[in-house]
Structure 1
Amino acid sequence: MSKEAEIRAAIEAAFDIQELEIINESARHAGHAGDDGSGESHFALRLRATELAALGRVARHRAVHRALGPELVASIHALSLDLG
């Protein structure tokens, strides 16, 4: 399973999603630090979910990281979060 699919599955299992967009930005970072050559090192996540609406910025980020789990988070070099 691709990392993008893993991210999607984890987020869908954890949240009542109103909007979800996952963008693999790895190609834009080819050859840079953190590029492991897999093509799955840099992601941007745009998420709107009921559970996040009442939380502050840091709490929203923590909730997403918790949903993804430490192993998946550690396997991604960069994860940009838009949780507005």
Structure 2
Amino acid sequence: MGITQELQERLKTLNPTRLEIRDDSEKHRGHGGWREGGETHFHITLRAPALAGLSRIARHRLIHDTLGADLVGRIHALSMDLDG
């Protein structure tokens, strides 16, 4: 299973009303952290009730905790657009 699929599977546990995962790796070709085959730079758009009322920092922490250190450690860059 690729990183994109792993992101999707783990984030589904938050019961999102909207989930979009975009692999932006090709935009970073030749930059630090890029590797052949992509799946190094991602952007996540997520809307989920679990995020409602949380601060921006708390939302990011929840996403990182949900993804787990093992998965986050394989990603060079992760940008997020999060809302409850």
Per the alignment, residue 39 of structure 1 pairs with 38
- Over the residues paired in the alignment, what is the CA RMSD in angstroms? 0.8
2:7 — aligned with what?
7
Distance 1:16 1:6 in 2: 15
Counterparts of 2:15 and 2:70, CA distance in 1:
23
Query: Normalising to structure 1: TM-score of the pair?
Result: 0.95
| C-alpha distance in 2 between matches for 1:32 and 1:63 | 28
Q: Confirm whether residue 52 of structure 1 aligns to residue 47 of structure 2.
A: no
Give TM-score, length-normalised by structure 2.
0.95
Shift of 1:61: 0.2
Identity across the alignment (%)? 45
> How many equivalent residue pairs?
83
Partners of 2:53 and 2:15 in 1: CA distance: 13
